[in-house]
Amino acid sequence: MKPSTLLTYPDARLRSVADPVEVFDDGLAELAGDLVAAVEAAPAIGLAAPHIGVLRRVIAVRPSGGAGVRVYVNPLIDWASVETMANEEGSVAMPGVSAEIERPRCVRVVYSDLDGRQGIEEAEGFHAAVLQHEIDQLDGIFWIDRLSRLKRERLLKRFRKLGGRTSPSAFLSP
Catalytic residue, candidates 83, 89, 102, 134: 134
Residue 124 falls in the annotated catalytic set: no
Measure the CA–CA gap between 48 and 15, rounded to whole angstroms: 12
Q: Which residues are catalytic?
A: 134
